[in-house]
Amino acid sequence: MSANSILTVGSIAIDWLELPDGRKGEVIGGSATYFTMSAGRFAPVHVVGVVGSDFPQQGMDIYHEYAASTAGLQIEDGDTFRWGGRYHSDWERRTTLYTELGVFESFNPRLSTKNRECPFVCLGNIQPALQLSVLNQLKEGESLVICDTMNLWIETTRDDLLQVLRRTDILLLNENEAHLLTGVPEIVDAANQIRSMGPGAVVVKQGSSGATLVDDSGAVHAGVYPIEKIVDPTGAGDCFAGGFVAALSKGKSMRTALVSGSATASFCVEGFGTEGMLNLTEETLRERIEVVAERSEFA
């Protein structure tokens, strides 16, 4: 196990997307898929997740290419997790058309001895009960725990989520989710209230307005890379997390990781489904990090 190994648990999905320009279609998705594609080029990513027997080979190929190990990727009889989403005309807000848990309903994540030793653990967006099950298999305090979540879990499984937060070091969430979780309208105040629930640091993702990091040193804001045209925003949050955690795993500061997360997410929104992530290389990322750093208040 190397010092920069990342363990990630998250959804592995077949998504149905409907975009404001009329484009629609089925793609491989899921929080773990986007995370692995964004972090896997820069750090060894060990994946824990489940797919059904209907999961296409094309999806497995992504994992074989980007993950350091897929030993924790279980294939079960049944249907792969499916999510359908329709975006509003602002290309940011979206309506969930359906969420079908499929094999996630009875998923019981089992961590190998190796996986338990990963110094970085990213709990991607997934039912908090599964995030807890992963946390319960780790040695308390030995890994840096980064967690992502979404409105569905804040609304339906709040108590489980609060248990996860007590054991989380860094929480990433969207601006509207921060409001939903706290009832506090102002971003920094909301983030500070979340910090009192457990995480020492909170990253509030603000879509095309960038992201704000709030920790012991105060609040800092990172901008975004100016892309020409959004093709599909799906997965941007997970790619932000991937870029952020990959940078932390290389020993970068939280502020530098914030810029890296923002730059990484910009690749994602340039393609349909995971297509945009194919353009992410060490060189293209470096170029975009420079641009985002210039557009960040702490450059």
Interface ranges with ligand AMP (CB under 6 A): 11, 13, 15, 29-31, 83, 99, 125-126, 152, 234-238
Nearer to ligand AMP, 13 or 111 (CB): 13
**CB half-sphere exposure, 182, CA atoms < 13 A:** 23
15 or 270: whose CB is closer to ligand AMP?
15
**64, 37 contact by CB (below 8 A):** no
User: In angstroms, what is the minimal distance from the CB of 216 to ligand AMP?
Assistant: 27
Residue 220, Cβ neighbours under 10 Å: how many? 17
Q: Which lies closer to ligand AMP via its Cβ, residue 204 or residue 236? A: 236
Query: By C-beta, is 1 or 180 nearer to ligand AMP?
Result: 180
Smallest gap, in angstroms, from Cβ of residue 239 to ligand AMP? 7
Kindly state the smallest distance separating residue 43's Cβ from ligand AMP, in Å. Answer: 19
Q: Which is nearer to ligand AMP, 234 or 296 (CB)?
A: 234
**Which residue number, 177 or 215, has a Cβ lying nearer to ligand AMP?**
177
Sign of dihedral through CA atoms 243, 245, 246, 251?
Answer: positive
Is residue 89 helix, strand or coil?
A: coil
Of 136, 16, 9, 142, which Cα lies nearest the Cα of 67?
9
Report in angstroms how near the CB of residue 55 gets to ligand AMP at its nearest. 13
CA–CA separation, 61 vs 52, rounded Å? Answer: 15
**What is the closest distance, in whole angstroms, from the C-beta atom of residue 182 to ligand AMP in the complex?**
19
Among residues 34, 31, 5, 3, the alpha carbon closest in space to that of 267 is found at 34
CB 180 within 8 A of CB 155: yes
Closest distance to ligand AMP from the beta carbon of 237 (Å): 3
What letter would DSSP give residue 104?
G
